Amino acid sequence: MEFKSIPLTIPEGCNIIVGQSHFIKTAEDLYEVMATSCPQARFGVAFCEASGPCLVRVEGNDADLKRAAAENALNLGAGHVFVILLKDAFPINLLNALKSCQEVCQVYCATANPLQVIVTQTEQGRGIMGVEITDEQLGFVAEKIREFFKGR
C-alpha cells in the first residue's frame, strides 16, 4: 500500500466539496441537488465511476467549473468519489441537501482553502484516507486577541 498526497485546484472565488457516494447516477443527482438548493450558484460536479470503464462523469452549469472539477476528480482517481466546485454560493447553503441525497455516504470537506487529499494506492485502486486543509494551528484565539490588543 502506498500513500499519496493529491493537491486539488480551487479556482479563484470558489469553494470545493469532496465526498463519496455509492451509485453511478451520482453526478446527475448531485446536479439536481445543487440546482434546486442554490439556483443562483454556478457549479461543476465530477464523479469517479468505480466499475466498468471507471470514467469520470461530469455535470454542472458552468463550463470552466465542470472542467476544473473533472480534472480534480481525474487526479484523485478514487472510485465513487465526487468533487463539486461552487461559485456564487457557499457550502453551508447546500451541505444538508447534499448529505440527505440518498447515495451520498460521506462529505470529506467543504472549503475555499488550499486542499490536499490523502489517498491510498493498492492493487485494487485508490481510496481517500483523509484531507489536509491548512497549516498547523498557531494557538488559541483568546491568546492571539490579547496579544493583539496588549499595550493599545
CA distance 21 to 55: 15
Beta strands in the chain (DSSP E): 2-8, 15-21, 42-48, 56-60, 81-87, 104-111, 115-121, 126-132
Please report the pLDDT score of residue 147 as a whole number.
72
Please report the pLDDT score of residue 150 as a whole number.
72
Please report the pLDDT score of residue 14 as a whole number.
98
Please report the pLDDT score of residue 140 as a whole number.
63
CA distance 64 to 68: 6
Q: Which residues of the chain have pLDDT under 70?
A: 135-146, 148-149, 151-152
Question: pLDDT tens digit string along 97-119?
Answer: 999 999 999 999 999 999 999 99
Q: Which three cell numbers stand for residue 57?
A: 462523469
Please report the pLDDT score of residue 144 as a whole number.
62
CB 8 within 8 A of CB 16: yes
| Three-class SS of 71-113 | HHHHHHCCCCEEEEEEECCCHHHCHHHHHHCCCEEEEEEEECC
Q: Could you give the 3-state DSSP secondary structure of residue 141? A: helix
Read off the pTM. Answer: 0.88
Question: pLDDT tens digit string along 85-96?
Answer: 999 999 999 999
